[in-house]
Structure 1
Amino acid sequence: MRSPIGLKIRNLRKSLDFSQSGFAKMVGISPSYLNLIEANKRDVGGILLQRIAENLNVELDLLTGDSEQRLINDLEEVFADPLLESLNLGPDDARNVVATNPDAGAALFRIYRGFLDARAEAKAMSNRLRSDPLFSELLHQMLSQITAVRSAAEILADVPDLESDQRKRFHVSLSRDSRTLSDVAQTLIGEFDRETVAHHSVSPMREVDDLIIDEKNHFGGLEELGRELRGEVLAFGGFGEASLDLALQHKFGVTVERAGQVEVGGEEAPGQYRYIEDQKRMWFQGNCTMSTRQFQLSRLYAELSGVDTLKQMAKDKRLTSSNSQRLAYRALGSYLAGAIGLPYDDFLKDAEEHKYDIDYLAQKYTASFEQVAHRLVTLRAPGREGIPFGFLRSDPAGRLTKQFPLPGLQLPNAGHACPLWAIYSAFRRPNDVVRQLVTYPDGSRYLFFAKSMSKRAAAYSQVPFYTSVMLACDIFYADRTVYGEGMRLDDGQLDVPVGPTCHMCIRRDCEHRQEEVLASVDAMHSVRMPLVNTKFSVGETDKSA
């Protein structure tokens, strides 16, 4: 369900005492088209929305309602939980809460997220207790030691005529068994503590996600620093592995090795790359691709050069724990690496000229499909924006492992998404881009395109691991991409009907449903019918938007 941008425009226009016809003339559209916008029957964005904001003398963010829409989506997920099913809460209720008391809505979602964390931790601990032989063995040891201690204590208490040597032996046995019981108990407690840390709340990662989303996945300061650091690398020749090697060696004394051996402690696997800090040595496994090597060298240069900036940003008050700060430091380091390797202005220009062809951009910038897709999501500099995309990544089990939302597009906060999405069908066609036009229950339409790839195997015996990456954009922008070519953008009849995830979807006639409908029946009445020819039937639509 989309944020009511049109209603905000109408209220602001009236507060300034502008007539509908007069204001339509000010922004360069017809009164009839403005009427459709204000009735929330037409989408508006890009340059047209900027002109409207300028003439209303308000910030663009006030009209888009991105944060409000995200909270609406979050509350819809809360209300769809089986625990709240009997309350019959649906999309209209979520919308009303955000409209009347957004702070209460945010508090409710924060509590719900804490509940999910606690439930996940309890489930993980329960599974561990049931399935882990270590816990079973420790509990049996404790039971055996308790039995031995109790037996010795009962003999000492119930048999008064024990010889002194016998009594001494029982005391020694009692002391030994007590110490053993204490050791076993300490081991068990240690395992519980370790599991608590390992399966602790997902909040640190969610806090990092929230920070990035609040900034619209764009950090102007890091973009500026990225341009400066790229200039340093270019002083050693054209941008690439060779110049990065020289820049790291010159500035930090870091040596780079490819293939060969790397020493790791214990059973720890080295992975495809590793930076050994005390040796100032960057190591890459022989199967590591050129795009991975270039990105990781860029990230190392970014983290070593921008350490003070990254540390300061990681101290943001929205990050409430050392874990979330550590994760934020790494995420911001990756962002800075992207700014170095895929410079904003050049990258945006190439993306626009080549209609966001990710494979072309990947070849030009020596980057992977995922790296390019991730960079496209960051093109949100005010006045120099690219197409707004949502980003998702899935593992082969269908679990979403990374996401950056798109305002208006409902995404589950965790777990699995709608099984009909292209992100899953891409697993059946590895290395091919799979595209689809979809329609949500509220009538909103999107272009999805995804690609599944595997890490390059280091040996024949290595099991390939696939991931699928998907970008999503509103149908309004589809004709600006190569992926919209040849598709019926003006006719939603052939769209794939989808939802966010089964338990949040109100389509009762979906034959692919894996879970029961949990949304309120009343929610069906709030669904908008698909808007056919939304973009192409209205002459006043600003194609440059």
Structure 2
Amino acid sequence: MRAPIGLRISTRRKALRRSQAALARSVGISPSYLNLIEANKRQVGGTLLQRIAAELDISIGELTGEAEHRLIYELTEAFADPVLADVGLSADQARSLVATQPQIAQMITRLHRAYAAAAVSADAYANRLRADPLLSQLLHQVLSRITAVRSSAEILDEIKDLSSEERERFVGSISREARGLTAVAQNLIGQFDHASIASRSASVRRELDDMIFAARNYFPSLEERAAEIAVDLGEQASEATIIDHLRERHGITVERTANPPSGQAFAYNAERRTIWFRNTVPQSTRQFQMIRLIANVTSGGVLDTVAGAPELSSKTARRLARAYLSSYVAGAVLFPYERFRSDAEALRYDVEALSERYNASFEQVAHRLVTLRREDAEGVPFGFLRSDPAGRLTKHFALPGLLLPQTGHACPLWAIYAAFRSSGQLVRQVVRFSDGSRFLFIAKAVSRRSSGFADQALPHSILLATDILHADRTVYADGLDLRDSGADVPVGPSCRLCTRADCPSRQEAPFAPGTEATLTGSIA
């Protein structure tokens, strides 16, 4: 769903009492072309949109309506829920509601979030009660111990001529069973608490997404802190200098072993002030994690300040945000903003070429590309998505105009899944959504190293997405006729939100009322 950028440009220009001719002259285009832009008959993006925003003294975010677009998406998702599907809210009605009654639209999405969290919690408890053998066993133990206590108590109450020795034996039995009952009850409560924590994870992820979205995934204070750490490490920081810095400045030693104490690829023991790495962990990961550790031990103040954002309402959300923010700092240290953006422009955003230049992984470079959102020096705007081999989405960063699925699975036609069939090879794809919006997708499946024969190195797929308006700034547009939409792959966001009822790859029936679809993809 594209935001009406042209209308916003026209409204802002008129508010400033500037003519079309004057604005067109200032940004270096013809008045007729500006007229087409304002009429939403021409798409605008990249440097031209930046020049227009600068001339109108308005942020790009306000022109593109990023926040409004996200609200439209969430509203559409809410009304796609089976509980509200009968209402039949159309995309145009969603846009109209957000434009005319934004407070009501926000209230609906918040209520839907609360409902979704409650439904997940109820399902978690119901599933545990029905199917969890541990809960069944614990409940059986509770009943058994209650029965034992009751039997002993009845004997004491009904049989009056018990000897003192017998009475003492039954009292001891009641005491033992009561203590056992307490322990079992605590375990039972712990299991329910675990289910409750798991059910809250979805809402916590939403809060973290809200914080990142509100900041456009760019945090100036963290960029400044990263620059300070980079100065401390030296201009030509290597793995050896980072290890020396950890030892000399922070008393932290780095060890490499075939079997870290935690059994994970790497682990930090705060008490021993030692960070371990498996021998097979690549250098790029070792350097990233060591710098992330430096950020954690030296930047608590700035990390806590940013993690105190109003979008985060719980300690769990702030803890997860702090972990993400420390990774942000590490990425900013390894890929200094100005130099990295300059290299990205020179290499036309060739992720593999950037990986080679910076001796970094594909995923690390992709992460940093997503954060190049400083308004006066913005890179190509990318969205980011990661999938595990089962197709489950494990990480995402939204792109204005393309709000990626929060959880579950994306459209099965997306390149992120095709990349699994071409492991190690980059897959590119031009897609078109039902509203006419077009995007360039690039994806690659990569695997982490295993430490031995018995360890499985599961691949995961990384996807970067950008609006077709910016595609020609990347190397991935070479050889493509971006003006010809005939070769586009028709896709949707996910099966349940897709309106293409005749799609042969559909895996789930759509939620839209009155829409029938054949689940050809799910039939063996």
TM-score normalized by structure 1?
Answer: 0.88
Whether the 8 Å CA contact 1:391–1:469 is kept in 2: the answer is yes
Between stretches 88-97 and 195-204, larger displacement belongs to 195-204
| Structure 1 gaps, min length 5 | 264-268, 523-545
Amino acid at match of 1:409: L
| Structure 2 gaps, min length 5 | 516-524
Whether the 8 Å CA contact 1:77–1:412 is kept in 2: the answer is no
- Aligned partner of 2:519 in structure 1 is none
- Aligned partner of 2:450 in structure 1 is 457
In structure 1, distance between residues paired with 2:271 and 2:169: 54
Amino acid at match of 1:124: A
- 5 Å-filtered alignment, 1:54-65, equals 54-65=54-65
- Aligned partner of 1:112 in structure 2 is 112
Give the deviation of 1:181 after TM superposition.
3.5
* CA distances 1:149-203 after superposition (whole Å, capped 9, x unpaired): 4455566677789888877766665555455444433332232223323443433
Q: Secondary structure at the match of 2:271?
A: helix
* Bigger RCO of structures 1 and 2 (CA < 8 A, at least 6 apart): 1
Decide which of 404, 423, 430 is 1:437's aligned counterpart. Answer: 430
- Aligned partner of 1:532 in structure 2 is none
- Aligned partner of 1:406 in structure 2 is 399
Between stretches 427-436 and 144-153, larger displacement belongs to 144-153
- 5 Å-filtered alignment, 1:517-528, equals 517-519=510-512
In structure 1, distance between residues paired with 2:161 and 2:297: 76
**Residues 189/16 of structure 1: CA separation in 2 closer, same or farther (3 Å cut):** closer
Q: Secondary structure at the match of 2:492?
A: coil
In structure 1, distance between residues paired with 2:173 and 2:239: 67
Are 1:217 and 2:217 an aligned pair? yes
- Aligned partner of 1:314 in structure 2 is 307
- Aligned partner of 2:187 in structure 1 is 187
- 5 Å-filtered alignment, 1:67-146, equals 67-146=67-146
**Residues 177/250 of structure 1: CA separation in 2 closer, same or farther (3 Å cut):** closer
- Aligned partner of 1:363 in structure 2 is 356
- 5 Å-filtered alignment, 1:139-158, equals 139-151=139-151
In structure 2, distance between residues paired with 1:276 and 1:152: 50
Q: Secondary structure at the match of 2:446?
A: strand
Whether the 8 Å CA contact 1:90–1:520 is kept in 2: the answer is no
Decide which of 245, 251, 254 is 1:253's aligned counterpart. Answer: 251
- Aligned partner of 1:8 in structure 2 is 8
In structure 2, distance between residues paired with 1:282 and 1:168: 56
- Aligned partner of 1:513 in structure 2 is 506
Amino acid at match of 2:416: I
Between stretches 442-451 and 253-262, larger displacement belongs to 253-262
Decide which of 405, 408, 426 is 1:415's aligned counterpart. Answer: 408
Whether the 8 Å CA contact 1:256–1:282 is kept in 2: the answer is yes
Give the deviation of 1:227 after TM superposition.
1.9
In structure 1, distance between residues paired with 2:189 and 2:98: 44
- Aligned partner of 1:38 in structure 2 is 38
In structure 1, distance between residues paired with 2:296 and 2:25: 51
**How many residues were matched structurally?**
515
**Residues 199/19 of structure 1: CA separation in 2 closer, same or farther (3 Å cut):** closer
Amino acid at match of 1:49: L
State percent identity of aligned pairs: 50
Whether the 8 Å CA contact 2:242–2:291 is kept in 1: the answer is yes
* CA distances 1:188-243 after superposition (whole Å, capped 9, x unpaired): 223222332344343333222211121111112221222222122126xx222112
- Aligned partner of 2:520 in structure 1 is none
**Residues 301/190 of structure 1: CA separation in 2 closer, same or farther (3 Å cut):** closer
In structure 2, distance between residues paired with 1:330 and 1:183: 34
Whether the 8 Å CA contact 1:121–1:201 is kept in 2: the answer is no
Amino acid at match of 1:338: G
In structure 2, distance between residues paired with 1:240 and 1:175: 64
In structure 1, distance between residues paired with 2:434 and 2:225: 43
**Residues 34/135 of structure 1: CA separation in 2 closer, same or farther (3 Å cut):** same
- 5 Å-filtered alignment, 1:320-359, equals 320-359=313-352
Are 1:384 and 2:377 an aligned pair? yes
Give the deviation of 1:253 after TM superposition.
2.2
Whether the 8 Å CA contact 1:80–1:90 is kept in 2: the answer is no
* CA distances 1:115-157 after superposition (whole Å, capped 9, x unpaired): 2222223323333333332211111122223334445556667
Q: Secondary structure at the match of 2:128?
A: helix
- Aligned partner of 1:397 in structure 2 is 390
* CA distances 1:397-424 after superposition (whole Å, capped 9, x unpaired): 2111111111111322221111100011
Whether the 8 Å CA contact 2:60–2:375 is kept in 1: the answer is no
In structure 1, distance between residues paired with 2:240 and 2:206: 37
**Residues 140/70 of structure 1: CA separation in 2 closer, same or farther (3 Å cut):** same
Are 1:468 and 2:461 an aligned pair? yes
Amino acid at match of 1:116: A
In structure 2, distance between residues paired with 1:193 and 1:376: 39
TM-score normalized by structure 2?
Answer: 0.91
Amino acid at match of 2:254: V
In structure 1, distance between residues paired with 2:277 and 2:360: 16
**Residues 171/461 of structure 1: CA separation in 2 closer, same or farther (3 Å cut):** closer
Q: Secondary structure at the match of 1:361?
A: helix
Whether the 8 Å CA contact 2:46–2:470 is kept in 1: the answer is no
- Aligned partner of 1:530 in structure 2 is none
Q: Secondary structure at the match of 1:401?
A: strand
Give the deviation of 1:73 after TM superposition.
1.0
Decide which of 471, 496, 499 is 2:489's aligned counterpart. Answer: 496
Between stretches 86-95 and 174-183, larger displacement belongs to 174-183
- Aligned partner of 1:372 in structure 2 is 365
Q: Secondary structure at the match of 1:380?
A: coil
Amino acid at match of 1:11: T
Q: Secondary structure at the match of 1:278?
A: coil
**Residues 444/188 of structure 1: CA separation in 2 closer, same or farther (3 Å cut):** same
In structure 2, distance between residues paired with 1:352 and 1:199: 43
Whether the 8 Å CA contact 1:89–1:520 is kept in 2: the answer is no
Q: Secondary structure at the match of 1:469?
A: strand
Q: Secondary structure at the match of 1:139?
A: helix
Give the deviation of 1:262 after TM superposition.
3.9
Q: Secondary structure at the match of 2:200?
A: coil
Give the deviation of 1:311 after TM superposition.
2.5
In structure 2, distance between residues paired with 1:191 and 1:40: 55
- Aligned partner of 1:27 in structure 2 is 27
**Residues 253/187 of structure 1: CA separation in 2 closer, same or farther (3 Å cut):** closer
In structure 2, distance between residues paired with 1:257 and 1:432: 33
Q: Secondary structure at the match of 1:190?
A: helix
- Aligned partner of 2:275 in structure 1 is 282
- Aligned partner of 1:292 in structure 2 is 285
* CA distances 1:480-503 after superposition (whole Å, capped 9, x unpaired): 111111122121101100010111
**Residues 166/310 of structure 1: CA separation in 2 closer, same or farther (3 Å cut):** closer
